[in-house]
Structure 1
């Protein structure tokens, strides 16, 4: 690889260089690790949720930030979006296979933190 040039597609068996500013995976990592991205992915680990159900499950997120976060995660292929042609339209979100794969370690991280916090408060 020429220094300073990021390949547009990862060659089989090779990984993207996420530390390079032109790396396509970097944007996905930015969305996943954004203030609300991880919470959205964890909240969607079960069944699909409608927008307001998702907003109610993630306390503190505004409609604007949730919509912006979901837009990025849908574009990245982590979240699917289904619109029902009703009045008003019902929009449901859920995790794609890629989203399930990415959310698994986030859920594990959350579980580890809460277990450790429980142990600390008991001591």
Structure 2
């Protein structure tokens, strides 16, 4: 199935009311990683695109099993690629050694053995042939 290209949903700066005052706002921790949109066409494959639209799939070979996570259900998911330090915290410094390796899959695989990454997902943009962007954020999660 051909999935639509969708840009990641980006936060915008501003002044937010207290959560108790206005339930329309969502608060999330800022992750220190590389933004990525994951395309799962339902055939077991995975395509990762950076914010720029660049294909970064080959830079993160350990994420390939995600392509089978939903079986034959196609989906577009928004998230962040993270490398974790020895305390389990996101480390952009560790991730930098993994970024930019989509053109060098053999090197990416060697680095994946030393510094594995994780994909933290926070939004479902398209699911089973249906665009979900018109749904409220709380329903997409």
By percentage of residues, which structure has more strand?
2
For the aligned pair, the TM-score class normalised by the smaller chain equals under 0.3
Larger % of helix: which?
A: 1
TM-score by length of 1: 0.24
